[in-house]
Structure 1
């Protein structure tokens, strides 16, 4: 029996267990082979370019592919600099360092991560990061749920981006808390 079929059957018998919502919130069929998209190394899902000044961003999984469930990006060529200290109102942000060394501030704590390390920025907790290694860093970031992050990055990863003040962050369901972190 397929997992989804099992969940739907179980949901009919145990609706109070929350299985009904889980079973029905996902599509009823697995993706067909023509719906599966491989995004090769060094490529953006839509072959676009997105620069934040301190890195280039590759969109790997788009919100529309997961019904808004997640958005995954890859930062390449990550150098010293980074986003201002901010928090997300409605999503977690998970970071996985693939190359280099990256300093994170999450809440009041600071942690330096190396290739293979990961850390979660929980919703509602201020966070930021900056590459601190001798070589440019590379990392993957996943947003769950996707929220308005694709729109935010499209609005800011352009030449001459708009002023990113508190009102701008609120438009994308985030709060601006402070300046970027820089290694001392």
Structure 2
């Protein structure tokens, strides 16, 4: 892995209208698979379905807004400056419970295929639209499992 500097506003954009506005800040390729870092602008009332990353830990840094997290059956309330951790193999989800957009930064460790999964979800959404079934099907090849509805 080489030293790097990512400036504000840089990164590769991934987008699904009214659901996902993500920027890949540090790719898994840039870190030799050690980790990847992404930032997500989350509209009010939005969050993913309950899911499991079988081979990665996920760390959430709340940069803006108010969020509800569910991690391994525990409900957590988080706001700017807070961190939530979802160890690999546990069910987790989040939801923006504020009245305006929220911003989360994620670290996946090891990077695994998280980045590739989000890219596959974006491509599938363009073709078939966003649905629970589409998310489950797109996530499965990347050792991610959709196990329940959103919060």
Which TM-score tier does this pair reach, normalised by the shorter chain? 0.7 to 0.9
Query: After alignment, is 71-80 or 89-98 more displaced?
Result: 71-80
Higher-RCO chain (CA-CA 8 Å, sequence separation at least 6): 2
Give the root-mean-square deviation of aligned CA atoms.
Answer: 1.8
Using the size of structure 2 for normalisation, the TM-score is 0.86
1:175 partnered with 2:140 = no
Aligned residues: 144
Give 1:80 deviation, angstroms.
1.7
The one-character-per-residue Cα deviations of 1:35-58 (angstroms, maximum 9, x if unpaired) are x443221332xxx43114323101
Which residue does the alignment assign to 2:37?
Answer: 72
**C-alpha distance in 2, partners of 1:95/1:42?**
19
Moved over 4 A (4+): none
Which residue does the alignment assign to 1:97?
Answer: 62
Where structure 1 has 5 or more consecutive residues not aligned to the other structure, the ranges are: 1-26
**C-alpha distance in 1, partners of 2:111/2:55?**
9
* Residue 132 (structure 1) aligned to one of 97, 100, 104: 97
Q: Whose Rg is larger?
A: 1
Per the alignment, in what secondary structure is the counterpart of residue 143 of structure 1?
strand
Give 1:69 deviation, angstroms.
0.5
The one-character-per-residue Cα deviations of 1:80-127 (angstroms, maximum 9, x if unpaired) are 211110001111000000010011111111111000000100111000
Change (3 A) 1:141 1:128: same
Where structure 2 has 5 or more consecutive residues not aligned to the other structure, the ranges are: 129-133
